[in-house]
Structure 1
Amino acid sequence: MTSTTSTTSTTDDGVRLGGAPEVKRRHRAMWALGDYPAVATDIVAPLGPVLVHATGIGPDDRVLDVAAGSGTVALPAAATGADVTASDLTPELLVVGEQLARRAGLDLTWEEADAEALPHDDAEFDVVTSCVGVMFAPFHQPAADELVRVLRPGGRLGLVSWTPTGFIGAMFGVMRPYAPPPPEGAQPPPLWGDEGHVRALLGDRVDDLVATTATVAVGCFADGAAFRDYFKANYGPTIATYRSIAEDAERVAALDTALAELGDDALTQGPGDGVMEWEYLLVTATRS
């Protein structure tokens, strides 16, 4: 396994943080902004069953869902009878996930943890998944190393990530000039949606890697302005970007226009019935 040298610290509540702890604290706070569970329900939810099916999760499996949010994969995985642990850096998301699990009558474990410093033994899980989650860990190689480390030989890995060429990749491109500079050494999240990048991260530690590009239909928005306003209210990275330019009315207006135009263009280029097609990369592999 490829090794990565990094420091590890803990928060006041004992959560292990890999890499740069202050970066992780800011990262955790960003994802607590707005209402990401609403985004997960309204937009991301169809991708959970896709990943459960692709990795063949069933009642005999011990599953770790990394950067699980409020349970997009963890909940349908638990519904198969699997022994599921949902892991995320942001406790506010886990609280919502626990509530959803109780309402659905599902039994699973929820834990606060950093994707770059997972609190688990080597080869502990039969299946490791992440759905548009681990892609947002700031430092890609340590996160990839942890995904592989906790997976047993022969175990299955499944990842869904937004692509650089798809709608969310374009959205981050629009926001980039307005956002604070990323931490030194951090890589753009949509790189996880590039097959070559993922293959390089995982290296020869996995076999049978299959990468498939597909789209999820998003029919929540009447026009680009509706998309923009929804993400301004609910999506942590968008909220954080706007907060960083809040004192500059001209830049706020420019970003407003750019995001609305992006949404309008996606609707224009789509099927024409008010539905956007957001591209993602599905990767499956087995641990060597």
Structure 2
Amino acid sequence: MVPALPIHGAGVDKLEALFPAPLSAPEVVQRARDLGFCLETTFLKERAPFLKVSKGEEYVLLKYSWDKQTLGRLVSNPNRFRTWGAYRDFLSRLLTPTGLESAKISRLDLNLDFSCPFPDLIRSLHIKNKRAGVQFTDDSGERTGINIGKAAEVIQIYDKARQAALSAHRSRIELRMRGHKLPTFKIASIPSAIQTQNFFETVEGLEVTILGSKVTETQKQRIAEFQTILNRDGFYFAKKALNKDRNFERDFGKIVMVRPWSTQPSSLFKEQIKSFFKNDMRALNLMQH
């Protein structure tokens, strides 16, 4: 086994929720003003109006119905807040505890970030679920992302530094869940639900090394092809491309050495998400004892 790539952290990148009984927009607006929050109207890609409620860099979006004067949907990024506790407190003060409790989660994105160039991450990941649908994302002929799965559960692997115009290397594995794949429908239950379940098990971390054994000219050509696909699409697709006759192990068993990470993405996420929730879990433990 080999060490995993350098880890940056984990978090909750997106949380969307519906309000079965829409909230009163005038009441929420007045409460936001009383709390000293900033208010503005914005539009997302769906062209629907959203009320943006912010305090500094921290904000949430609430879908606004002009004719009914109600708020029916929450769109937020908990990672923007100092801690999970700060996020939950922001919502509780803005929506009231009753309003927050009524919210039903409709989408939840979890992220696991690595401090490495995107090609390094792609080269180090293997897809364990062979039946998962896969889509590639390219920009100017360069591979920038891979989507695995569809509908209720999708894993997206992408260049976070490029997407967010960051100066440092940042590559991300993101798990997007909806419907029956959600670990919970209640915002207050997220810390315990996430820390007691397993995520990111579709991907496996590994190190692929080309050994310096004697090879034929034909093998050299196939190794070059293997490395090209490996660097662009990862081990699963490189092996698949050269395993059409199911002879990969015979042809490459003594040339390609594959060693798994000592700590896999699912375990890395469990370790890293603890710091994201630690304040809330401390409070939860106090209430339970």
Of Structure 1 and Structure 2, which has the larger fraction of its residues in strand? 2
Does the TM-score normalized on the shorter chain lie above 0.5? no
Greater gyration radius: 2
**Shorter-normalised TM-score: what interval?**
under 0.3
Q: TM-score, normalised by structure 2?
A: 0.28
Of Structure 1 and Structure 2, which has the larger fraction of its residues in helix? 1
